[in-house]
Chains A and B, each alone.
Chain A
């Protein structure tokens, strides 16, 4: 066994630490602590501790309190803890197990048994930690691949729409700016960063349903007839049907956001949007953010049917309600983000 592994022995009685150190010194680096407070300090400064042998009754901080702290900081998930006990109460031992101790070592010790038991668990944990690390790397890789697939799909659709694929990237960048600002300004809409990441990735699929719209309508230079506009509007519902057919290319969270954004990014705060005529808070905050991002980008980009408007004109048109009514709080976040939006360095998101 290599000595790059370390065991932390926590016991206020010197002789107990000495015995345990003696048992393990040939196979492990040994660290010692005389109470719970010192044990936590040692753990804080060493990240390679393979196991903790923890006495229950100690001054300053007892073994159960140490276990509780290890639960709080998450270390209990990766480091096995053995409780050392000389016939303490059953309640204490039970609580120790509930707090994540893997085993109980009864005093007096038996060196051979002890080393076998502890070595076995350390090997098991090392193996488990290694597997978890492999799985985490693979999940990360899989997510990268999935993201590429989603981006490719979105880009293909944008090409059909006469865009270069940059539109979806701009939508993702704008959505991030808006969601970050909304989350920061309005506690009721606060979302953790990882959720905002998922929303931004999902936003690039907002127009996936356009693949079902005929070229004659999608790329028509002039104004759409009422019938043509009805067909155009169906891209929201058609997009959801496509997503339902390929749910496995993305994880569940992203699928849910994508579906919602795809269907509801043309809904409006006053209920005059489509396809479901949702209004107010019936529309999710992420779909409301993508709605503004989509409109802003459509206005500031050149399309077959129009020239690009400059930033100021686009903002004025949105504020005037020329593109429908939006959530007032998202509008406030939009206004508060002008400095960032105008720089346009978010388009590489």
Chain B
């Protein structure tokens, strides 16, 4: 199974993401690599303390922006919700959403990283 097929299987809207970049497949592939590097820098955990909420909003907002540009829909949707929940002062609901998305996120990252190797 190709990278794009695998990603489609994980809910990534590859055709839309590529369309966003004018159909440039090699660029899209390269940016997926940048995406894994970027998301790896953020060290997001569901085990965050209340005083970490502010920093978490910034991280979630950044992940949302990058995932959206590549139409990595599950991550984009989850982090949009997490950002909104944290800004609305609902950390526990944000935590639940994080618990749900982190395994999916891990799968998507691993899938991309495997293909890059």
Interface residues of A (CB under 8 A from B): 12-16, 18-19, 22-23, 57, 86-87, 107-112
Contacts and interface: CB of A to CB of B under 8 A. Distances in A.
A108 B71 contact: yes
A109 B34 contact: no
Contacts of B71: 108
B79 to A, nearest CB: 10
Given A108-B69, A109-B69, A111-B21, A13 B38 contact: yes
Contact of B31 (A18, A107, A112): A18
Nearest to A18: B34
A107 B68 contact: yes
Residue picked from A13, A14, A15, A110, most chain B C-beta under 10 Å: A15
Given A111-B21, A111-B22, A19 B31 contact: yes
B62 interface: yes
A15 B68 contact: no
Given A15-B34, A86-B65, A107-B65, 10 more contacts: A13-B66, A14-B37, A14-B38, A15-B69, A15-B70, A86-B68, A108-B68, A108-B69, A109-B69, A112-B22
A16 B61 contact: no
A139 B11 CA distance: 62
8 contacts: A13-B38, A13-B62, A14-B34, A22-B24, A57-B58, A107-B65, A107-B68, A108-B70
Contact of B64 (A12, A86, A110): A86
B21 A22 contact: yes
B81 to A, nearest CB: 12
Nearest to B72: A108
B66 A16 contact: yes
Contact of A19 (B37, B62, B69): B69
Contacts of B104: none
B90 interface: no
Shortest 6 CB-CB contacts between residues of A and residues of B: A108-B68, A111-B22, A86-B65, A108-B69, A15-B66, A15-B34
Contacts of A22: 21, 24, 27
A135 B21 CA distance: 41
B82 to A, nearest CB: 13
Interface in B33-50: 34-35, 37-38
Contacts of A13: 38, 62, 65-66
A19 B35 CA distance: 11
Contacts of B76: 108
A215 B34 CA distance: 89
Given A22-B21, A108-B20, A108-B68, A15 B35 contact: yes
A57 B21 contact: no
Contacts of B66: 13, 15-16
A12 B61 CA distance: 12
Nearest to B16: A108
Interface in B60-91: 61-62, 64-66, 68-71, 76, 80
A87 B83 CA distance: 11
Contacts of B80: 87
Contacts of A112: 22
A306 to B, nearest CB: 84
A86 B34 contact: no
Given A14-B38, A16-B66, A108-B68, A86 B20 contact: no
A30 B68 CA distance: 23
A107 B58 CA distance: 15
Contacts of B34: 14-15, 18
